[in-house]
Structure 1
């Protein structure tokens, strides 16, 4: 049977690694870790579900290269703790045994390393300054008026940090990971060096774009030296920071041109995680159109030869197919959509795209992670319970179950009971099922409901 989305399911080779299709599961943070910030059995099951769903690559996000100086939140995996090899190897195997390539996102918070700031009383950045301090690790937490000192990184500290990225990549490779992603966007340390708005240095690490790019290019070279030229490197950048406090698309193009030929995949996002007004561009809300950030990747792709990936507000396989077929990008990356339905790749490949639960972009996952450090999805009850679902036993007895209320929760409860083999009676006092959906369906920006 001919594939409905042939471009989406055409394999791609990065370095010497073959990826089975063009759908990558992008980083969604490091939650559900254990008390030592190591991958728990729940976290491993969470990432395994994405691989089972058919993604070509699955990336674990927010992995620290320097846990003393770069920690943003209390729940990040410390790649500089080389004694903790077992859990990371287990996570890698859970991904690769289902045919996906396992990847890690290498991250350093720099001047926004809030947890480091709480511990040390100061943070490190490309240039000395003072910043409003927001405790708790969330960019959405308002400052209480306190300021925190940003200390300028010395030459020695810059060189040390570069080596931390290379060592972290090697540590991942030795655990079986087939790729790493350098987080060079969204306002973290690498992008702080890249942007003239945050890099005010007068030495060889600042000033011209060539000097500001010296830091990320040195990181890339250190990884190449330690992991080999064939080990794939993905570089995540913001095509534009979409705010006067950041760089624009023209500069984003120049940044990508300097990365061209140095990495295997340029992953183009947008915005800055730390600028409140554009947080909702980096992580598009339901008020944005589907694929609203594709334009940044498409423009950058015109100016580079390196493969380009796009990310943000993607949940429709037909749109993803068109993006790749028309040459706007060569890879589509899914974040929150992999929570709403990790089986999207399999469903799209087997002609079941009508069964895909499309992400509402409602931010329930964000609010739950901020509140409890655990994953949750408003429309997928398996998320947060992946480990238990692996060992879901069939009921010993078939029961007759009465579900009162035909709203969203009632309908899902009825479906779950039926899937478990029970006889279900669903009662609704009105003439129609749907509950609040009957009202919300008339609101244009809530069409995915």
Structure 2
């Protein structure tokens, strides 16, 4: 028998009277698609069940409001303690438990950060700790003792209701600027009575809530307390205060879940949910520091994707449990894959925020690297194909590889052809970008999966109509991709001109100063990459923007394109991360509402509201978009009875669009 590689990670742990099968927990996540009455749907049950199937020791259902009338902050929050939602909650807890995981549920209240638009009966104000006014002009009315006591009872009632619905652990959200955190934080809590002032008084509310829950449901159900180790705000508390908070909770709860940050401020929220610009495990240090001073088990969370790192965290005593959020979407099977030695099949979270952006805009979680997310019910109940077919996939980029893998998994004979000598497609150019390290891992893992799957791979093989017919396929999936568009501008053939893809492969050609034509996602991320390595970068974008950058190193003012504008192609939440990153790069200027006129040997001539002038640069880089290879794809349409196109050869978009369409096309094959 092979020795267990991650023996600390898979050592069971007992919290209170409940045994958990390993140290990998799925951290609290709400479910965007609730019923009109804000209850869990059948699809939501599959969403949480899928993580339990994958081997997580605990799966936490997020955001159950303890007081629905006063505590809502966003749409994806369940009504707590409502008998009408009991059946839905019970079905969900049962679905989690039947796979051996502990079903947990998160209790939360928004406090003074409640959303008035969602609570029309609140008469134009929200309840908080002291009278005041929010930055958005909403009035805050201080709660009196009776209201605070009622709120404590609401937490107790919600916990008792959750236990009745079969949940085996209660998670109290005491971080990120929500109501319990408002009591704890000296930044928010300016009360002068027994509920505020000293840390003993500020901790009175959460400790009283915990005591009330214990009295109500006893010690049979463990209590997890989620806190911010630091608020990551200039006027918020730091880790030394976080240690004191944890010490006050020590022995009062069964697990202290150490997160960081504050949801109301973008810069802090980008530490709570680390973007790709921060290293893996960047928040572990806060849990490790707190663990030095308490006896209660500690969980850490944030940018954890690698089982090796998770094992080291547990083995070294930095934390007792690792909690995974977005990674549980990227690959809900991570726990079982790591345990049985399939680490190279784990999809790492890219931290691209595709999940957050889609849930914010469209109300559904979709993952760039896991096309099952958002389709959990269909993927867990789908029928095998009626007919097995020979499928030719033309193109070995992310879409082509996903199509080949899905088709092979469903029993079809799959042939994958790639015209270059390597699978991975256009994204290979970003393999060496430090903040795209998880993208490089993802591509390597997909290539490894293809190598292990029953897929016939032909490299250095361009699929022409003649080549396609030679394989005699029943189905052709064209995933040929796109090529960079070359702008029609005088001087484009100059020796000092390069495309973004070429510069990614050879960043040294950018020189000391470079100007990038195009402020879309490719241009901005390339600019950040070059600026981080010491180059002086100017981006020229024709679209209009409204957000100003910090002054540049030479004292001139920069202008930044509206990176939160979806029309420019930036994912909504990733746009926030980009903005925060740009603030840290004074050697990067962005000009908007600016036309590129001509490329010269000394740089780029531009025209804006100030007139015509030259931006001096060693290299001019173009990143103005992609031209789909539609003619090449269309030429294959008559070479097989069934023909499909996907990815950039249809419309250049992103990884999610390629993998999700590839997955669905391959799943649909064989119905007839």
> TM-score category by the smaller chain?
over 0.9
Which deviations, in whole Å up to 9, do the C-alpha atoms of 1:156-192 show, x marking residues without a partner? 1111111111110110111111101000000000000
Q: How well do the aligned residues superpose, as a CA RMSD in angstroms?
A: 1.3
Q: Distance in 1 between matches of 2:30 and 2:40?
A: 12
Which structure ranks higher in relative contact order (CA pairs < 8 Å, sequence separation ≥ 6)? 1
The answer to whether residue 329 in structure 2 is matched with residue 339 in structure 1 is yes
Corresponding residue number in structure 2 for 1:65: 66
SS in 1 for 2:177: coil
Q: Distance in 1 between matches of 2:189 and 2:246?
A: 18
SS in 1 for 2:106: strand
Corresponding residue number in structure 2 for 1:144: none
Alignment of 1:255-274 (within 5 A): 255-274=245-264
Change (3 A) 1:13 1:132: same
The answer to whether residue 10 in structure 2 is matched with residue 6 in structure 1 is no
The answer to whether residue 75 in structure 2 is matched with residue 80 in structure 1 is no
SS in 2 for 1:447: helix
Gap runs ≥5 in structure 2: 440-672
The alpha-carbon deviation at position 406 of structure 1 amounts to: 2.2
Equivalent residue in structure 1 for 2:148, among 141, 147, 158: 158
Corresponding residue number in structure 2 for 1:188: 178
SS in 2 for 1:48: helix
Q: Distance in 2 between matches of 1:175 and 1:115?
A: 29
SS in 1 for 2:377: helix
The answer to whether residue 439 in structure 2 is matched with residue 438 in structure 1 is no
The answer to whether residue 381 in structure 2 is matched with residue 391 in structure 1 is yes
Say if 1:74 and 1:115, in contact at 8 Å, map to a contact too: no
Corresponding residue number in structure 2 for 1:234: 224
The alpha-carbon deviation at position 249 of structure 1 amounts to: 0.6
- How many residues align? The count is 436
SS in 1 for 2:299: strand
The alpha-carbon deviation at position 431 of structure 1 amounts to: 4.3
The alpha-carbon deviation at position 114 of structure 1 amounts to: 1.4
Q: Distance in 2 between matches of 1:115 and 1:367?
A: 22
Q: Distance in 2 between matches of 1:415 and 1:325?
A: 35
The alpha-carbon deviation at position 419 of structure 1 amounts to: 1.2
SS in 1 for 2:183: helix
Say if 1:20 and 1:56, in contact at 8 Å, map to a contact too: yes
Q: Distance in 1 between matches of 2:150 and 2:5?
A: 49
The alpha-carbon deviation at position 36 of structure 1 amounts to: 2.1
- Point out 4+ residue stretches in structure 1 off by more than 4 angstroms: 115-118
SS in 1 for 2:230: coil
Corresponding residue number in structure 1 for 2:166: 176
Alignment of 1:12-161 (within 5 A): 12-115=13-116, 119=120, 120=122, 121-133=124-136, 147-161=137-151
Q: Distance in 1 between matches of 2:287 and 2:170?
A: 20
Equivalent residue in structure 2 for 1:406, among 371, 396, 399: 396
Change (3 A) 1:358 1:115: farther
SS in 2 for 1:8: coil
Corresponding residue number in structure 2 for 1:136: none
Say if 2:17 and 2:221, in contact at 8 Å, map to a contact too: yes
Corresponding residue number in structure 1 for 2:241: 251
Which deviations, in whole Å up to 9, do the C-alpha atoms of 1:382-420 show, x marking residues without a partner? 000000112211111112223333221121112111211
Greater C-alpha radius of gyration: 2
